Amino acid sequence: MSFSESEVIEYLARIFATSDSRVIIGIGDDAAVVAQGAANTVVTTDMAVEGVHFKRIWSSAHEIGRKITAANLADIYAMGAEPRHLVVALSLTGNESMNWIKELAQGIKDEADTCNVSVIGGDLVRGPVVTISMTAIGEVSHPILRSGAQVGDGVFLSGLPGLSAAGLFLLSKEINISALRSSVCAERAVSQFRAPEVNYSAAIALLDAHALCDVSDGLLTQGQQVAKGSGVRLEISSEWIEASSGFRELSDLAQEVGAYVWDWIACGGEDHVFLATGIKLPGMQIGTVQDGSDCEILGLTQIPQGFTHFL
What does the DSSP assignment read for 77-127? HTTT-EEEEEEEEEEE-S-S-HHHHHHHHHHHHHHHHTTT-EEEEEEEEE-
pLDDT band at 5 (very low <50, low <70, confident <90, very high): low
Q: Nearest to residue 82, comparing CAs of 41, 50, 123, 48?
A: 41
pLDDT band at 16 (very low <50, low <70, confident <90, very high): low
Looking at residue 70, its pLDDT comes to 97
Residue 129 CB: number of other CB atoms within 10 A? 12
Q: Is the pLDDT of residue 310 over 60?
A: no
Residue 147 CB: number of other CB atoms within 10 A? 17
Q: Judging by DSSP bridges, how do beta strands 154-157 and 273-278 pair with one another? A: antiparallel
Instruction: Identify which has the larger pLDDT, 216 or 307.
Output: 216
Check if the beta carbon of residue 77 is closer than 8 Å to that of residue 34: no
Looking at residue 3, its pLDDT comes to 58
pLDDT band at 179 (very low <50, low <70, confident <90, very high): very high
Domains and CATH numbers, the chain: 5-140 (3.30.1330.10), 146-298 (3.90.650.10)
Q: Is the pLDDT of residue 45 over 70?
A: yes
Q: Report the range of poorest mean pLDDT among 30-44, 208-222, 289-303.
A: 30-44
| Torsion sign (Cα): 284, 289, 290, 296 | positive
Q: Give residue-wise pLDDT tens across range 196-234.
A: 999 999 999 999 999 999 999 999 999 999 999 999 999
Looking at residue 2, its pLDDT comes to 63
Give the residue-averaged pLDDT of 35-50.
Answer: 86
Give the residue-averaged pLDDT of 170-187.
Answer: 97
Give the residue-averaged pLDDT of 225-254.
Answer: 97
Q: Is the pLDDT of residue 71 over 60?
A: yes
Give the residue-averaged pLDDT of 61-69.
Answer: 96
Per cent of the chain over pLDDT 70 is: 91
Per residue, the 3-state secondary structure of 148-165, as one string, reads: HCCCCCEEEECCCCCHHH
Instruction: Identify which has the larger pLDDT, 41 or 278.
Output: 278
CA dist., res. 247 & res. 211, Å (int): 25
Q: Is the pLDDT of residue 173 over 50?
A: yes
Residue 285 CB: number of other CB atoms within 10 A? 15
Looking at residue 33, its pLDDT comes to 72
Give the residue-averaged pLDDT of 174-182.
Answer: 97
Q: Give residue-wise pLDDT tens across range 97-121.
A: 999 999 999 999 999 999 999 888 7
Q: Is the pLDDT of residue 84 over 80?
A: yes
